[in-house]
């Protein structure tokens, strides 16, 4: 542990950074249900079925019909990390922060490969026609690398992807963690990869803090606005975690995004959506689950009564204020995993 901290400190000096994202490794990064993302589907019986993808070895997949009882339905990859990504990011042991959405007849699953505290990262893409492993159409196709980062080539960290198809039909991929903040690029609908010549654009940052702790973008459209959800502060310190969900909005998917006070998210703005309390610590890295029953905020959190469970999945109803800002309710229930 101390040797790793020393190497990271040396890297900070060499790069001229005031701080590096995540100074030390954390236990349990790949257990629990961190960084959840989900979709709602309908089965042959007309029931709503919810699927969640989460950080883990091979990307873990969960399924539920009531948002309370969740069963494992396998993993996207048989191996902990695809072979191509393992070659590019030696030392990685699992896949972080997937993003699951459905467009053009395919489920798109973007995923992150990195090691804790490193800027050498890649985002990959896998697609599938079905999510039910019993379906004859169920087969994941890995399309490989989409975006990458390194200290020598970029000022961002290529993790935490999130895909948006905007009202003009543009496919936009958002990502980022710490460093100079969150980025966005237009991607080709056919490949899911950046369009030739497309420029990477900044969308949110925290330049007025020493840690620059912002990550996990998620964008949705509602009522004429695009809402950019992000997570601030410390994600992975158990009961000491300070993670929280913030939001801003814009009339354009490409920004600028402003908080409720009118401050740009590029300048550190953000309106609080969800933070920890006595029992739930470090809630964050959210997605939004849209279904016939309504909208739900998916996120992970630590339960101080069961810290050994690591970052668990939590589901909360998502509603909106009269002036158009998101509001979350109490957890649907304490999620239960069935075997």
Tell the CATH superfamily of the 2-338 domain.
Answer: Glycosyl hydrolase domain; family 43 (2.115.10.20)
Closest CA relative to residue 96, chosen from 70, 68, 117, 65? 117
For 80-98, how does the pLDDT look when each residue is reduced to its tens digit (9 = 90+)? 999 999 999 999 999 999 9
pLDDT band at residue 6 under the 50/70/90 scheme: very low
Handedness of CA 5, 21, 237, 31 (dihedral sign): negative
- Position 267 pLDDT exceeds 70: yes
- Position 37 pLDDT exceeds 80: yes
For 96-138, how does the pLDDT look when each residue is reduced to its tens digit (9 = 90+)? 999 999 999 999 999 999 998 899 999 999 999 999 999 999 9
| Tokens read off for 207 | 């330049």
- Position 50 pLDDT exceeds 80: yes
- In this structure, of 84-88, 176-180, 244-248, 334-338, the range with the lowest mean pLDDT score is 334-338
pLDDT band at residue 26 under the 50/70/90 scheme: low
CA 161 to chain centre: 6
What percent of the chain is predicted at pLDDT more than 70? 90
DSSP per-residue letters across 254-321: T---B-TTS-BGGGT--EEEE---SSEEEEEEEEEEEETTEEEEEEEEEETT-GGG-BEEEEEEEEE-
pLDDT band at residue 216 under the 50/70/90 scheme: very high
């Amino acid at each position: 542990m101390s040797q790793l901290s020393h190497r990271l400190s040396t890297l900070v000096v060499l790069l001229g950074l005031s701080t590096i994202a995540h100074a030390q490794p954390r236990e349990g990064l790949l257990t629990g249900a961190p960084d959840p993302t989900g979709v709602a589907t309908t089965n042959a019986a007309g029931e709503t079925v919810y699927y969640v993808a989460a950080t883990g070895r091979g990307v873990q997949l969960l399924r539920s019909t009531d948002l309370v009882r969740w069963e494992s339905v396998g993993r996207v990859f048989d191996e902990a990390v695809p072979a191509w990504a393992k070659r590019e990011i030696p030392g990685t042991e699992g896949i972080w922060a997937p993003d699951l959405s459905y467009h053009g007849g395919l489920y798109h699953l973007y995923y992150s490969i990195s090691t804790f505290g490193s800027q050498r990262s890649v985002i990959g893409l896998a697609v599938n026609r079905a999510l039910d492993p019993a379906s004859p159409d169920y087969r994941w196709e890995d399309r490989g690398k989409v975006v990458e980062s390194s200290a020598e080539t970029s000022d961002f960290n290529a993790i935490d992807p999130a895909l948006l198809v905007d009202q003009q039909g543009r496919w936009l991929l958002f990502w980022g963690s710490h460093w100079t903040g969150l980025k966005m690029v237009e991607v080709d609908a056919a490949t899911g990869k950046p369009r030739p010549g497309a420029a990477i654009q900044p969308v949110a940052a925290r330049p007025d803090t020493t840690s620059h702790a912002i990550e996990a973008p998620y964008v949705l459209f509602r009522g004429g606005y695009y809402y950019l959800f992000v997570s601030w502060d410390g994600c992975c310190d158990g009961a000491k975690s300070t993670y929280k969900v913030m939001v801003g909005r814009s009339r354009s998917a490409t920004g600028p995004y402003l908080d409720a006070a009118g401050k740009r998210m590029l300048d550190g703005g953000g309106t609080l959506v969800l933070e920890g309390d006595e029992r739930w610590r470090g809630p964050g890295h959210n997605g939004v689950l849209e279904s016939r029953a309504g909208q739900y905020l998916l996120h992970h959190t630590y339960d101080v009564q069961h810290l050994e469970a690591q970052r668990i999945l939590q589901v909360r109803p998502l509603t909106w204020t009269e002036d158009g800002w998101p509001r979350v309710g109490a957890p649907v229930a304490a999620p239960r995993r069935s075997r």
